[in-house]
Amino acid sequence: MAIAVKRPYTGGRVEVAPQHKINEKIRAQQVRVVGENIETPGVFSLQEALKMADALNLDLVEISPNADPPVCKITDYQKFLYQQKKKQKEIKAKTVQVVVKEIRFGPNTDDHDFQFKMRHAEKFLQEGAKVKAYVFFKGRSILFKEQGEILLLKFAQELEEVGKVEQLPQLEGKRMTMFISPKKKK
């Protein structure tokens, strides 16, 4: 038989434990104190560091708990969290998202369709996206896999000014796939 435990109502909010130890939650005896408004950074006892932070009406935040002694920063904790979030956003903005565009051919694609799809692939490569070109074999058309490979190699040859082949044509089930990535702009 399960026993129900009554929990206090928090107004719909979930209490999140802070990701850093601050002020009295720091357990180390000695800490290395840093901060913008510290004239002499160095190693102090926890009580001295807390007094220094209290004198400046700021928080003592443990930023590097694995160091010996742990490194603590005297700063406003909310401002510190805001700066951390801002740094994470900048890092995320700098990461490049790789977009893969797919172009599908049949083993007997005629010349006009080939040129049309090639122009699209050229545009995709100029925009910085990778192109996944594949030939899809339906039913007995798998007998024409040589034609599919020739078609993909011709496609790569036409696009060699704007892209380079990352993976040569490879047969996987009923698909023959090839990847082309954009050339680096100079």
Taking only the tens place, the pLDDT of each residue in 135-184 is 988 888 777 788 888 899 898 998 888 888 888 888 888 888 999 998 87
Same domain, 69 and 141: no
Is residue 35 in a domain? yes
How many residues in total does the chain contain? 186
What is residue 109's predicted lDDT score, i.e. its pLDDT? 85
Is residue 149 in a domain? yes
- Bridge partners of 74, per DSSP, are 60
More confident residue, 82 or 9: 82
**What average pLDDT is seen over the chain?**
83
Q: Is a pLDDT exceeding 90 seen at residue 123?
A: yes
CA distances from 148 to 47, 109, 120 (A): 75, 9, 19
Domain hosting 172: range is 100-182
What is residue 132's predicted lDDT score, i.e. its pLDDT? 92
What is residue 3's predicted lDDT score, i.e. its pLDDT? 62
**Chain CA centroid to CA 78, Å:** 25
Per-residue confidence at 6, pLDDT binned at 50, 70, 90?
low
Is residue 11 in a domain? no
Q: What one-character DSSP code corresponds to residue 88?
A: H
Total domain count for the chain? Answer: 2
Encode 85-103: b = buried (16+ Cβ within 10 Å), e = exposed: eeeeeeeeeeeeeeeebeb
Same domain, 106 and 178: yes
Is residue 138 in a domain? yes
Is residue 49 in a domain? yes
Same domain, 31 and 74: yes
What is this structure's pTM? 0.50
Select from 89, 112, 131 the last residue of a domain.
89
Same domain, 136 and 80: no
- Bridge partners of 105, per DSSP, are 135
Same domain, 157 and 113: yes
Same domain, 65 and 130: no
Same domain, 141 and 67: no
* Inter-residue contact 60 to 37 (CB < 8 Å): no
Is residue 10 in a domain? no
CATH number, residue 178: 3.30.110.10
> Considering only CA atoms, which of 102, 153, 159, 104 is closest in space to residue 130?
102
What is residue 18's predicted lDDT score, i.e. its pLDDT? 59
